[in-house]
């Protein structure tokens, strides 16, 4: 039996990228080659790839990228934080949307994109800080991008009240075709911009025990704190127009995640 490889390395890698429904990392590729060799030990043309190296895999992928570029193919190899994947080029999205109309999702609104941009550049970040930057409540848009899997809860802040922290997800990286967060447009410059911060509540002070347990019951209703004079500013602040956030435009330059094919 021949000791020559069954197929060129880049062709085997191509078949794996074509068949996979998700990005494949170099570690996963190496594991696949080892698994195939283990199941075909009596076939030298397959077993010869058992110890394929990472640099060999990257060279094979570069060969595919060059081939696709030189021949003007409608697809390309895209690298993200999760690995490599074959994807169709964005230029062909008008036709692809017609092929899969049931998979079409509503595009993210401008407020949702603004909120996502702030999180992407300043993560992890609290909801309070997001609202301080945007000037409006973000409950609705936060739920939208959470449901899309673009952000997730990353823990709790150390400030009083221990508010939740939010960060982008692997799904965000894949949709925007990012390998690292440093690939965001103008990342280093935009992260240095001073932004408004939410007011940090003061720690609650210990109260002295009441002299008698009946004190609260003895206070006349007329002396209790009035509620009718509470300002309407709490509700009105949600109607304030959100300030334009410079980082939004930079994120939009990559494109809306739902426009990727």
Q: Does residue 51 lie in a domain region?
A: yes
**CATH number, domain at 53?**
1.10.10.10
Domain co-membership, 154 together with 248: yes
**Residue carrying the six token digits 């692809």:** 96
| Separation between Cα atoms, residue 166 and residue 156, nearest integer Å | 9
Tokens of 227: 């509620």
What is the percent of the chain where pLDDT is above 70? 75
Higher pLDDT, residue 208 or 193: 193
Domain co-membership, 80 together with 135: no
| Separation between Cα atoms, residue 192 and residue 40, nearest integer Å | 55
Q: Does residue 213 lie in a domain region?
A: no
Q: Enter the DSSP assignment of 105.
A: -
Q: Does residue 93 lie in a domain region?
A: no
Q: Does residue 94 lie in a domain region?
A: no
The whole-angstrom distance between residue 253's C-alpha and the CA centroid of its chain comes to 16
Domain co-membership, 61 together with 117: no
The predicted structure's pLDDT at residue 100 = 80
Higher pLDDT, residue 23 or 244: 23
Domain co-membership, 115 together with 159: yes
| Separation between Cα atoms, residue 191 and residue 195, nearest integer Å | 10
One-character DSSP codes across 84-107:
EEEEE-GGGHHHHHHH-GGG--PP
Between helix 54-71 and helix 9-19 the angle, nearest 10°, is 80
Task: Show which of 54, 88, 122 is a domain's final residue.
Answer: 88
156 DSSP β-pair partners = 164
CA dist list (Å): 132 to 110, 248, 260: 17, 16, 31
Domain co-membership, 40 together with 169: no
Task: Show which of 88, 123, 139 is a domain's final residue.
Answer: 88
Q: Enter the DSSP assignment of 136.
A: S
Largest CA distance in the chain: 100
Domain co-membership, 192 together with 248: yes
Q: Is the pLDDT of residue 237 over 60?
A: no
SS3 state of residue 97? helix
- In tens, the pLDDT along 145-165 reads 999 999 999 999 998 889 999
Domain co-membership, 249 together with 153: yes
Work out the pLDDT band at 239, boundaries 50, 70, 90. very low
Domain that holds residue 122: 110-200+240-259
Work out the pLDDT band at 211, boundaries 50, 70, 90. low
Domain co-membership, 150 together with 254: yes
Query: Residue 225: CB partners within 8 Å, gap ≥ 6?
Result: none
| Separation between Cα atoms, residue 143 and residue 206, nearest integer Å | 36
Domain co-membership, 132 together with 188: yes
Domain co-membership, 129 together with 188: yes
Q: Does residue 146 lie in a domain region?
A: yes
| Separation between Cα atoms, residue 114 and residue 103, nearest integer Å | 24
Counted domains in the chain: 2
| Separation between Cα atoms, residue 18 and residue 93, nearest integer Å | 18
Domain co-membership, 34 together with 65: yes
Q: pTM value?
A: 0.55
């Amino acid at each position: 039996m021949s000791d020559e490889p069954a197929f060129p390395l880049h062709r085997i890698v191509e078949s794996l990228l074509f068949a996979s429904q998700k990005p494949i990392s170099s570690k996963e590729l190496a594991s696949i080659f080892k698994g195939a060799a283990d199941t075909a030990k009596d076939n030298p043309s397959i077993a010869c790839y058992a110890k394929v190296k990472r640099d060999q895999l990257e060279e094979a992928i570069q060969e595919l990228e060059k081939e696709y570029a030189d021949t003007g193919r409608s697809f390309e190899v895209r690298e993200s934080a999760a690995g490599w994947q074959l994807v169709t080029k964005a230029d062909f999205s008008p036709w692809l949307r017609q092929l899969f109309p049931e998979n079409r999702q509503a595009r993210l609104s401008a407020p949702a994109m603004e909120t996502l941009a702030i999180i992407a550049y300043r993560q992890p970040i609290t909801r309070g800080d997001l609202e301080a930057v945007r000037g409006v409540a973000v409950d609705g848009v936060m739920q939208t991008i959470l449901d899309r899997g673009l952000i997730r809860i990353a823990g709790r802040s150390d400030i009083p009240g221990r508010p939740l922290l939010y960060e982008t997800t692997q799904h965000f990286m894949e949709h925007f075709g990012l390998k690292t967060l440093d690939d965001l447009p103008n990342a280093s410059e935009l992260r240095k911009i001073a932004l408004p911060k939410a007011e940090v509540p003061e720690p609650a002070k210990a109260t002295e025990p009441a002299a008698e347990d009946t004190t609260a019951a003895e206070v006349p209703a007329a002396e209790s704190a009035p509620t009718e004079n509470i300002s309407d500013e709490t509700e009105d602040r949600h109607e304030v127009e959100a300030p334009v956030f410079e980082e939004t435009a930079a994120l939009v330059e990559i494109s809306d995640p739902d426009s990727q094919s």
